[in-house]
Amino acid sequence: MALSQIAWMDGKIIPLEEAAINIFSPTVQYGHGGFEGIRFYETGAGPAVFRIQEHWERFFSHTAQELAMEIPYSADDLTAAVIGLIRATGMREGYIRPTIVYPEPELGLRFQQKKVSVAIVLSSWEKKLAQDSLAVKISPVMRNHPDAVNMRAKVTGYYQNPIRALRDASQDGFDEAILLDSEGNVVEGSAENIFLVQKLWTGTKALFTPRKGAILPGITRGTVMALARAEGYIVNDCTSFKASNLFLSDEIFLCGTAMEILAVTAIDGNMIGNGKTGEVTSHISQLYSDVIHGRDERYLHWLTLVNS
């Protein structure tokens, strides 16, 4: 993962090392900041940003709102900043990380500062993982409780919990962690939503994903549901299920902006399906790839061209 050597901060493109804030700011001290993760892809019409409006919607209406931080720019200003940064780097594909912070030093929890800084960096982040499927661990780390935090917000401090889950899974030799809620229901990966594929009694295959509530309802999750439904798959997004249900699935996959779509082929050392990426996961993955690269005309409205 290579970061661009320039960043956009508070209206200017600057060298990456100058995109800095004070170490005693509330964002560093208490995790009181927020971020987004967006991707841009090469298409027939040049690089294009995928679903940028939906990312801004979450950034403004959930993350900044939850933090009571006022972003001194509009969504259109930030889109222009992203486009300017992509053009300035000459990158054709990559990952975009917009961030909001309190930049000034101030101790104590009753901070008074009003200045909010916004910074954006790009990263090549080709694939989160080198392999094409995942061996995961059901995490002993419980997901943040939805009564305690706003699950729709991408607040910096919330990530301590998935980081711990991922560290624990990595130490045991797994690629990813699957987190449960306080009732033992499967909720999500460290930064991905989860889908199960199961054959119904009629013989058709259906997709199941945990209902909103204890999950971050990802933009990729929404994309997968839309694509799958358009292909005629039954998609149930109102389910709650325990970890034991995972082992009854024909296929499982995780999805998120950074990871995209990746099959889970083993859980706690038990093989899922035949231990390879399944038919439905491959199909959805192919559809997703076509959409993000602008090869499916039905979804061109999800792409914002960099050079238009």
At closest approach, how far in Å is the CB of 176 from ligand PMP? 12
At closest approach, how far in Å is the CB of 108 from ligand PMP? 29
At closest approach, how far in Å is the CB of 265 from ligand PMP? 20
Contact between 27 and 102 (Cβ < 8 Å)? yes
* HEC string for 137-195: EEEEEECCCCCCCCCCCCEHHHHHHHHHHHHHHHHCCCCEEEEECCCCEEEEECCCEEE
At closest approach, how far in Å is the CB of 218 from ligand PMP? 3
Q: What gap in Å lies between CA 198 and CA 205, rounded to an integer?
A: 6
At closest approach, how far in Å is the CB of 189 from ligand PMP? 7
At closest approach, how far in Å is the CB of 187 from ligand PMP? 9
Tell me which residues touch ligand PMP (CB under 6 A): 37, 154, 162, 188, 191-193, 216, 218-221, 256-257
Token pair belonging to 116: 């909010």
- Of residues 30 and 159, the one with the C-beta less far from ligand PMP: 159
Q: What gap in Å lies between CA 49 and CA 51, rounded to an integer?
A: 7
- Of residues 48 and 216, the one with the C-beta less far from ligand PMP: 216
Closest of 129, 173, 144, 132 to residue 268, by C-alpha: 173
- Of residues 47 and 217, the one with the C-beta less far from ligand PMP: 217
- Of residues 103 and 257, the one with the C-beta less far from ligand PMP: 257
At closest approach, how far in Å is the CB of 14 from ligand PMP? 26
- Of residues 43 and 257, the one with the C-beta less far from ligand PMP: 257
Using alpha carbons, list the distances in angstroms from residue 227 to 49, 236, 276. Answer: 18, 13, 22
- Of residues 121 and 216, the one with the C-beta less far from ligand PMP: 216
- Of residues 14 and 163, the one with the C-beta less far from ligand PMP: 163
| Length of the chain as a residue count | 308
